[in-house]
Amino acid sequence: MRTLNINDDLELDTGTYRVIGRRGNLLGIRNQSTGDDETIALSELTTRLRSVPEWSSPVSPASLDLLRPEDRADVQFWARQIDEMSTGSREGHNTPRPQYDPKITTLNERVESKVAELRGLGFRASRAPLLRKRTLWQQGGAAALIDQRKLRSAARYGEADPRIIAAINKVLSENVKASTRTKSYLCGIVVQELVKSYEFTADQIPSESSLRRYFTAADVHGTATSRATTRRSRANVPNRRNTTKRLLLPGEQVQVDSTPLDVIVRVGPRILTGPKKGEWLTARPHLTTMIDVATRTVIGASFNL
């Protein structure tokens, strides 16, 4: 979701700016390097933005506890990098490194230094993603840098072995067109799959209560043990979410609409022969408009016959 809030940062063609106010389609921004204030129209953003901002709501710090240790370590690594790039602070040190000292460097210089450093360490780093991470970090700290896909998976399955979840998903997939079975029967098939495909030993097999809990979490539609016709019908529904996106930038979405007008216009010369001799050729025109969804303004219109 893309939204603009006070204190959000924008990476424009002339530097980094902070949003300080908004009135209608006018945006108040402040240059982070010079401190100069400026007012621009929202329509200017499409031509001045270096990258499309992607802000999201802050995440609770407790979300870090839901991640696997390796995912948590990855989030904390990026939080340290963004912290140093933004403030110059470095874990275990009292003074910042010269290339990240806010007193003698600008944010743009610190970003370039961090990009070079990360690339030297083997990371595929670039300016725009780092600035997006910085915006998230400013809003919600390290927790805001969590990949939400990993968070959703962690919340659903906890510390479950990924191989167990893979086996359950395979059984669920194969069960779509099969006869209706009980959950106990399907859990038994999952155990067989773990032994066959992943060579699980008896002590690696989770308890029946844990397996049933994982199974319930994976069966998001609750159709695994329902009527076969219901399960098959649900499987034919496209797996997509019907969400409403709040648009921000002019030009992100333009709607085109045509409608016939309740008027008749003369389009040709008089008819020279036939029963309508002497009459003019007429037609009913269509009005076509292009409307920018973000600003709710008409950006184009034409008459067509």
Q: Which residue has better confidence, 78 or 8?
A: 78
- pLDDT band (50, 70, 90) for residue 242: very low
Q: Give the tens place of pLDDT for each residue, 34-72.
A: 888 888 887 777 678 876 655 444 566 666 765 667 778
In Å, how far from its chain's centre is CA 246?
Answer: 12
For CA atoms 77, 79, 80, 84, give the dihedral sign.
positive
Q: Rounded distance, CA 141 to CA 170, Å?
A: 37
Q: Which two tokens stand for residue 288?
A: 């076509």
SS3 39: strand
In this structure, the number of other CB atoms found within 10 A of the CB of residue 2 comes to 15
Average per-residue pLDDT for the chain: 78
Q: Highest-confidence range of 110-119, 179-188, 221-230, by mean pLDDT?
A: 110-119
Distances (CA, A) of 277 to 25, 264, 272, 283: 56, 19, 5, 17
Q: Give the highest mean pLDDT range of 4-13, 146-155, 165-174, 215-224.
A: 165-174
Question: What pLDDT was estimated at residue 245?
Answer: 45
239 has a pLDDT exceeding 60: no
| Calpha distance 89→102 (Å, rounded) | 10
Q: Report DSSP state, residue 178.
A: S
b vs e for 268-290, b when ≥16 Cβ sit within 10 Å of the residue's Cβ?
A: eeeeeeeeeeeeeeeeeeeeeee
Go through 207-219 and write b for each residue having 16 or more CB atoms within 10 A of its CB, e for each that does not: eeeebbebbebbb
The pLDDT of residue 77: 92
On the question of pLDDT at 185 being above 60, the answer is yes
How many Cβ atoms are within 10 Å of 61's Cβ, its own excluded? Answer: 12
What does the block give as tokens for 66?
Answer: 């839901």
Confirm if 297 and 24 have CB atoms less than 8 A apart.
no
Distance separating alpha carbons of residues 136 and 146, to the nearest angstrom = 10
Phi-psi region of 62 (alpha: psi -120 to 50; beta: other; left: phi over 0): alpha
Distance CA 3, CA 1 (A): 6
Distances in Å between the Cα of 283 and the Cα atoms of 49, 262, 264, 288, 301 are 45, 11, 6, 16, 19
The neighbouring-strand residues paired with 282 are 266
Contacts 24+ apart (CB under 8 A), 13-22: 13/48, 13/49, 13/50, 14/48, 15/108, 16/107, 16/108, 16/131
| 22 DSSP β-pair partners | 27
pLDDT of residue 24 exceeding 70, the answer is no
Statement: residue 93 has pLDDT above 60: yes
The tokens for 235 are 């499987």
pLDDT attached to residue 110: 93
Q: Looking at this protein, which amino acid is placed at residue 7?
A: N
Give the Å distances, CA to CA, from 57 to 54, 139, 147, 294: 10, 8, 13, 20
